[in-house]
Amino acid sequence: MQKDDGQISIGLKKARTHLAKVILMLEEGEYCVSIMQQNLAVIGLLKSANDKLLKRHLNSCFMSAMQGTNENKKQKMILEILQLSKINK
């Protein structure tokens, strides 16, 4: 377990709890804009957790691969990061 795992886990758990509330809002027929605002808050929590995971990956797995001599592993890591950048658009 890495030192930032706790923060990431807390953020994901907050998002899960908040999402359950958003679903309940929808099921109870609350005002659409209120639901969307709360949904955006969940997205923000998930984005924050994802940013922390990416930072962790870049500073550990990615850096280790780039410092190594295995060219296939380096290329794989680069392609993974490029794929993630497409997902984030």
Tens digit of each residue's pLDDT (9 = 90 or more) over 21-38: 999 999 999 999 999 999
DSSP letter, residue 28: T
pLDDT band for 86, please (50, 70, 90 cuts).
Answer: confident
At residue 11, does pLDDT exceed 90?
yes
Fold of the CATH domain 5-87: Methane Monooxygenase Hydroxylase; Chain G, domain 1 (1.20.58)
Report residue 89's pLDDT band, with 50, 70 and 90 as the boundaries: low
Q: What does the domain layout of the chain look like in residue ranges?
A: 5-87
User: Looking only at Cα atoms, what is the longest distance across the chain?
Assistant: 57
Query: How confident is residue 42, by pLDDT bands cut at 50, 70 and 90?
Result: very high
Q: Half-sphere exposure of residue 56, counting CA atoms within 13 Å on the CB side?
A: 14
Torsion of CA 83, 85, 86, 89, to 10 degrees: 160
pTM: 0.82
